[in-house]
Amino acid sequence: MTEFYDRLEESFRSSFEPPSPPDGKMQPWTETEIVGKPLPRVDAFERVSGKAEYTYDVILPDMVYAAILRCPHAHAMVKSIDTSAAERMPGVVAVLTDKSAGADIQWYGGGYGGGPMQSRLFDPHCRYEGEEVAAVAAQTPYQAWDALKAIKIEYEVLPFVIDQDEAAKPDAPRLFDAGNATGKPMPNERGSVEKGFAEADFVLEETFSTSAQMHAALESHGSVVKWDGDKITIWDSTQGVYDACMLSFARTMKMPYNNVRVICRYVGGAFGAKLELGKYTVIAALLARKAARPVKLMLSREEEMLCVGNRAVARMTVKAGVKKDGTLTALELKHVYTPGAYSGMAFVGFIFQELYKCPNVKVTDSGFYTNVGRSRAFRAPGFPTGAWALEQMMDMLAEKIGMDPVELRLKNFTDVSQSRKQPYSSAGLKDCLIEGAKKFGWQEAKAGKKDNDHIIRGVGMAAGLWMMGSGGPPYTAEVRMFADGGVTIKTGAMDLGTGTKTAACMVAAEELGVPLENIRIINADTAITPYASSSGGSMTLASLVPAVRQGAWIVKRQITDWAAESLGVTADDLEFNKDAFASRSNPAKRRTLEQIFRAKNVMDVIGIGNREPNPANKVVMPFSAQFAEVEVNTKTGEVRVIRMVGADESGRVVNLKTYENQVYGGMLQGLGYGLIEKRVMDRQTGKMCNANLHDYKVPTALDVPVDHEVVTVDLKDNECNNVGCKGLGEPCHVPTAAALANAVYNAIGVRPVNSPIDNRTILDLLSNRKRG
């Protein structure tokens, strides 16, 4: 017994020293064992079995259901609200209106870039069909919906405007006192386009337009909220538990950050529409406080279509100058932007300023508010729109000077950022163009163009880039290793379905030298996981995995130092293999992880990894080029995409499987943008005609090209970050619609300047074409 307690007490005087910060510096990986492989997702079982808990799945004891009463008019003023009947409806536990919400609730959600903000929770001036007017919580969703109908609203219906040209007129119905313009047109010019046009051998001009595309994520927006005294827990379908939800909610409700816990372990798609705090979240929280019960508030598909975003309608007039040898001399874009009833997000001009070497570029944005649901960030906001115009214009120039479209783009390739005047850390556009063309068989396909009765084939291509794919700090990841080699990663990062969690696990396994099955990951819970910025802008992977690698490296470095100390060798002499360290010079000198941890009397070692800053003198961007072959049915107007090749330079491939899936998904959503998807507004009522997934068509399995392939370009970019990866989700979506438009032009000889190129568009174009 005495011995036993001696030993017991001795353990309190152990040799353990707090981990000292490791010396040395991480080196770029040369060869990798796990990273780069095509691996299934670590959460695949949860996702396919239904065990994954999405916000929609959260059910809490005593929970009630909320619903929002929305303005049925395109433009109206609420004159009075009578909720007395609704309050007496069966099951109703709380009713909320502008009056009862309180004027001091300043919603920090909607609107970008300084335009009019949708800041009042229930604004009596309703500017679009679907704007929030009141809300109800009841025992069942059905009771809540029924109660909405019992709320009596007196509206003053106002004249509306849904068209940008109408909105521009001086006598148009006004959305705001200051008028309908989104701001003063602010030209941004580099060099002199006038000079550039003068130097050109040819100057072409064309006007392009794109329709509003809906995000149409599988899981609708919504929140479940639960108060505990002055603290709240929010399960939200969001792209960012921190920035998008926690911070904005705390600001809206004037609460300390620490009192707001946001959880979102799984998201059923987002595409940019879930980058901001929802009004529904604030409404749910206020109802929950009134009812003193947890509240669930998930939007219906119709509400999704009307109220939580879309890709803005755009009209782009492009003027371009080119020399006979293909040198671009000037690019000018006049962009008219139609964000809907409040300010949206779209960077349409950037691709003109950045994609090609061109000394003279001028971009002028102007825009007008209309009585339509506000646009939001949408997968590479503005870039597929800008590419639609720029990349068709590039093909027009190529045709004009009799040059191959790929050659023209290579002619104007640059490895220096045109807008920043700094070199790229890696400039993959050239390789995307060449390797993509090779894989597609561009030369052969172009030459082999042939008609088959009323089915005409055509090929086309386009290029793109994305401005934010570098990712960057702040971004923190925690890596913790147990004595038996088990590892847990904690990160605030979202996994929007893109495979982020799997990539993080692979990077940790690679750095630590342990099998992938040793790694667990806990993500997206503000109480538990460290800060991560929202998942958007293709920034997640390139922000997260370098932080994970750093955390893992700190852990490994610490353990290696302990192993070296205990074996009497230098750390550099040690090699780690799965669960043990051995000396390279004397393999008999060996310590297992268990032995090392036990000797130090340590159960777990924690490394806090921070995302290091991006290189100061380089610009980090990912690049993409896509090639498509289409068949146009001249009788029906149908366009079928036969095959596509997507070539992407997004740095190191972390998981080949999810990388390829991203490109497939990006191309398919681009196919929808280019050929299928279109919000239809009723000019008589200002209401949306197709606010459902029956009338609003998204691509389905039958639209997927039978043959679609991915080319990965890896230029061993060791400067962008310690893993060498860049963002992919957006660049792989940028060129698609334009490539398809070019292919259609190649088939039918008439340029489809307006998207989408649906059957009616093709038939219209064909009826107007002059056969060459």
Among positions 163-202, residues that touch a second copy (CB under 8 A) are 186, 188
Binding mask 3-42 for a second copy (x = CB under 8 A): -xx--xx-xxxxxxxxxxx---------------------
Cβ distance to a second copy smaller for residue 288 or 645:
288
Among 256, 402, 568, 587, binds a second copy (CB under 8 A): 256
Cβ distance to a second copy smaller for residue 16 or 142:
16
Among 82, 156, 484, 695, binds a second copy (CB under 8 A): 484
How many other C-beta atoms can be found within 10 angstroms of the C-beta atom of residue 204?
15
Residue 513 sits in the site that holds a second copy (CB under 8 A): no
Burial class (CB in 10 A: 0-12, 13-18, 19+), 393: buried
Give CA–CA dist 495/521, Å, rounded.
11
Cβ distance to a second copy smaller for residue 486 or 749:
486
CA distances from 623 to 3, 427, 467 (A): 68, 8, 10
Give CA–CA dist 725/651, Å, rounded.
4
Residue 292 sits in the site that holds a second copy (CB under 8 A): no
Burial class (CB in 10 A: 0-12, 13-18, 19+), 585: exposed
Residue 506 sits in the site that holds a second copy (CB under 8 A): no
Among 85, 178, 218, 527, binds a second copy (CB under 8 A): 527
Instruction: Give the shortest CB-519-to-a second copy separation in angstroms.
Output: 8
Instruction: Give the shortest CB-118-to-a second copy separation in angstroms.
Output: 17
Write out the binding residues for a second copy, residues 214-243 only, by CB under 8 A: 228-229, 242
Burial class (CB in 10 A: 0-12, 13-18, 19+), 258: exposed
Among 77, 168, 455, 608, binds a second copy (CB under 8 A): 608
Write out the binding residues for a second copy, residues 644-683 only, by CB under 8 A: none
Give CA–CA dist 180/160, Å, rounded.
12
Q: Which stretch binds a second copy (CB under 8 A): 435-443, 578-586, 602-610, 647-655?
A: 602-610
Q: What is the DSSP letter of 517?
A: G
- How many CA atoms lie less than 13 Å away from 404 in the CB half-sphere? 14
The one-letter code for the residue type at 291 is A
How many chain residues touch a second copy (CB under 8 A)?
80
Question: 277, 213, 209: which is closest to 239 by C-alpha?
Answer: 277
Cβ distance to a second copy smaller for residue 592 or 610:
610
Instruction: Give the shortest CB-699-to-a second copy separation in angstroms.
Output: 29
Instruction: Give the shortest CB-525-to-a second copy separation in angstroms.
Output: 9
Question: 395, 393, 418, 396: which is closest to 406 by C-alpha?
Answer: 395
Write out the binding residues for a second copy, residues 365-384 only, by CB under 8 A: 365
Q: Which stretch binds a second copy (CB under 8 A): 384-392, 523-531, 680-688, 759-767?
A: 523-531
Residue 507 sits in the site that holds a second copy (CB under 8 A): no
Give CA–CA dist 460/448, Å, rounded.
13
CA distances from 639 to 391, 434, 761 (A): 19, 26, 10
Write out the binding residues for a second copy, residues 58-117 only, by CB under 8 A: 112-114
Q: Which stretch binds a second copy (CB under 8 A): 81-89, 476-484, 504-512, 656-664?
A: 476-484
Residue 606 sits in the site that holds a second copy (CB under 8 A): yes
Cβ distance to a second copy smaller for residue 4 or 421:
4
Q: Which stretch binds a second copy (CB under 8 A): 100-108, 148-156, 172-180, 598-606?
A: 598-606
* Token digits of residue 449: 């163009």
Instruction: Give the shortest CB-662-to-a second copy separation in angstroms.
Output: 20
Write out the binding residues for a second copy, residues 533-552 only, by CB under 8 A: 539, 550
Cβ distance to a second copy smaller for residue 260 or 574:
260
Cβ distance to a second copy smaller for residue 299 or 508:
508
Give CA–CA dist 541/472, Å, rounded.
10
Contacts of 654 (CB under 8 A, 6+ apart): 35, 36, 503, 506, 507, 541, 545, 723, 725
How many other C-beta atoms can be found within 10 angstroms of the C-beta atom of residue 144?
28
Give CA–CA dist 226/648, Å, rounded.
44
Residue 592 sits in the site that holds a second copy (CB under 8 A): no
